[in-house]
């Protein structure tokens, strides 16, 4: 979880370097750590992301520092070499489709889709732009720990068309998830607002693993932030490996047990049908094998 610290530059602090101010006002930041936070893009001055440690501050300026996992995982240095070392530790992603209008990626768990207030470093969009040598438009996102198929646009026109399809949900999306406990019945719809907006998810049981876990397919009728995770919690069966919404108990998976398994939509320019599927990642498959053995039984839903 990230934490935002908001500061106003006092008159007596005018003229200080930005890294000096951060180190003086935020107890957990040394000058060196403040420079790392600036380098990864976690500092905003009057709403603008600033990375220059030596920038002099003025009285009355509003400073926002976003502290979280990006700072914890960053190397303790700054500059291009530090960025390259950080990126070398990121999990690999696979491009499964690319044409003149869009690119579809199988995103691994542990890779951000796009820049966040914490950092503009080491995310899928930035890595793709560097690899493809062109601008990439983020159409939709998968959470950091969620893996699976993800679509990004390569032109402004495709971005507009795809964004409209995602906004009106003129497409098909299904996720695989492993929920805590034994979910009954075989199918259940959750129609519960998320963030004050209409949200609906259709859950279908694939497999019950004793009484400890239930493997499901979750089909989205809407696409709200954390919708599946919140709706699973609403059912009283949170996604395993999701400590934010109550899925942090045993049996603990190697990562959050949520995977974007299917994305089907019309091509933004030609209208041709596109369909992409991604199998459950090996780490989760191996964990499920062990879970079945430990539970002693597994029942496939009809």
Give 5-63 pLDDT, tens digit per residue: 999 999 999 999 999 999 999 999 999 999 999 998 999 999 999 999 999 999 999 99
User: Are 176 and 261 within 8 A, CB to CB?
Assistant: yes
pLDDT at 294: 86
All domains of the chain, ordered by start, with CATH?
3-85 (3.10.290.10), 94-300 (3.30.2350.10)
pLDDT surpassing 90 at residue 297: no
pTM of this prediction? 0.85
For the chain, the average pLDDT equals 92
Q: Taking 80 as the threshold, does the pLDDT of residue 93 lie above it? A: yes
**Residues noted as catalytic:** 143
Q: What would the pLDDT profile of 263-283 be if each residue is shown by its tens digit?
A: 999 999 999 999 999 999 999
What average pLDDT does the segment 207-226 reach?
94
Mean of pLDDT values over 198-208: 96
- The closest of 164, 163, 233, 162 to 194, measured between CA atoms, is 233
Buried b (16+ CB within 10 A) or exposed e, 239-274: bbbbebbebeeebebebbbbbbbbbebeebeeeeeb
Quick check: 89 pLDDT over 80? no
- Taking the CA of residue 60 as centre, how many other CA atoms within 13 Å lie in the half-sphere pointing to its CB? 0
The pLDDT tens digits of the residues spanning 227-247 come to: 999 999 999 999 999 988 987
| Per-residue pLDDT reduced to its tens digit, 141-176 | 999 899 999 999 999 999 999 999 999 999 999 999
């Amino acid at each position: 979880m990230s934490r935002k610290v908001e500061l106003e530059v006092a008159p007596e602090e005018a003229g200080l370097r930005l890294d000096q101010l951060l180190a003086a006002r935020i107890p957990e930041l040394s000058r060196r750590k403040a420079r790392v936070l600036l380098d990864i893009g976690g500092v905003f001055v009057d709403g603008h992301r600033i990375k220059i440690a030596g920038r002099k501050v003025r009285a009355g300026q509003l400073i926002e520092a976003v502290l979280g996992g990006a700072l914890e995982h960053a190397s303790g240095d700054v500059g291009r070499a530090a960025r390259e070392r950080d990126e070398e530790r990121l999990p690999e992603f696979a491009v499964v489709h690319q044409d003149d209008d869009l690119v579809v990626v199988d995103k691994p768990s542990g890779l951000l889709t796009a820049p966040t207030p914490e950092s503009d470093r080491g995310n899928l969009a930035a890595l793709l732009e560097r690899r493809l040598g062109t601008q990439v438009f983020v159409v939709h996102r998968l959470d950091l720990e969620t893996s699976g198929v993800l679509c990004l646009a390569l032109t402004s026109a495709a971005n507009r068309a795809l964004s409209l399809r995602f906004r009106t949900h003129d497409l098909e999306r299904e996720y695989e998830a492993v929920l805590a406990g034994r979910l009954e019945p075989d199918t259940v719809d959750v129609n519960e607002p998320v963030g004050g907006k209409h949200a609906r998810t259709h859950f279908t049981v694939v497999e019950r693993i004793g009484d400890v876990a239930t493997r499901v397919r979750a089909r989205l009728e809407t696409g709200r932030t954390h919708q599946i995770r919140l709706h699973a919690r609403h059912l009283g069966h949170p996604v395993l490996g999701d400590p934010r919404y109550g899925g942090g108990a045993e049996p603990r998976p190697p990562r959050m047990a949520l995977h974007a398994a299917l994305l089907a939509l019309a091509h933004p320019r030609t209208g041709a049908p596109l369909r992409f599927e991604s199998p459950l990642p090996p780490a989760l498959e191996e964990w499920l094998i062990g879970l079945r053995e430990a539970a002693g039984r597994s029942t496939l839903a009809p």
